[in-house]
Amino acid sequence: MKRLKDKVALITGAGMGQGQAAAVLFADEGAKIVIGDVNDSAGAKTVEMITDEGGEAVFRHCDVSKEADCKALVAKGVEAFGKLDILYNNAGVLWKDKDKSVVDTKEEDWDAVLAICLKGAYLICKYGIPELQKAGGGSIINIGSISGLTGSTIPQDAYASAKGALRTLTKSLAVQFARENIRCNIIHPGMIDTPMQHKYMKNDEWTRAVEDSIPMGRFGQPGEIAKVALFLASEESSYMTGAELVVDGGFIAT
């Protein structure tokens, strides 16, 4: 039996990378998918990938930093499929060229990173949790980062702060809604081979140096994060809430 049969999953940032991999995998496991992304062509491509394989998906443009967009995305999902069972807060930004130490980061860039990486999850949950309550429960999956767990000699202070706060929000939601059969867990990826990461890969020598710093000796793949998210979305993790799963090839264990 498919692990997400008859479930409806809303996934932000599903136009490419980890979000797209999760959308395709969840659909293959029986879920109907509600896709939100700021990139309309990428979002439409993910819908096409799913429907070409016989799945069901809808897309709506969504800038997760804007309340109206998040409210409309939730409404789009309920209108299309009648309910929501899974909220997957995946949307984020990696601005290594602008998000640096606090002494080097502009205020508007700090605000933008926190709005996308933290406020977006708040807004999706604000409008999505009432739909999970109507459905009798569900699963919230947040995408954190190992940057939210440790310090760094090459700082991205806004990103790390947002992901650290998302970690705490995850636990707060887990405690608040546990008795309503709503679970909330967080995944902390390490270095994952995504289009967002490619922008900052300087050269082959730099890439090899990063890979050498990872005990497994390689970057992770988007599908490897998607499989962990599938576990958290499914009933296989029915007694897990407020949990943190680090998926980093052993990087922070060193």
Domain presence at residue 39: yes
Question: Which residue range(s) make up the domain with 45?
Answer: 8-246
Q: Is residue 171 part of a domain?
A: yes
Alpha-helix runs per DSSP H in the chain: 17-28, 40-51, 67-81, 107-114, 120-135, 157-177, 195-198, 204-212, 222-233
- Does residue 122 carry a catalytic annotation? no
Number of domains in the chain: 1
Q: Which positions of the chain have pLDDT values less than 50?
A: none
- 31: CB partners within 8 A, 6+ apart: 4, 5, 7, 8, 9, 85, 86, 233
Contacts of 246 (CB under 8 A, 6+ apart): 146, 149, 188, 190, 252
Domain CATH code at residue 105: 3.40.50.720
Residue 223 in tokens:
């599908």
Cβ–Cβ under 8 Å, residues 64 and 14: no
Which of 88, 127, 159, 200 is flagged as catalytic?
159
Domain membership of residue 251 (yes or no) is: no
Predicted local confidence at residue 202, as pLDDT: 58
Domain membership of residue 113 (yes or no) is: yes
* 1 domain residue, yes or no: no
Residue 3: inside a domain: no
Does 81 reside within a domain?
yes
Rg (CA), the chain: 17
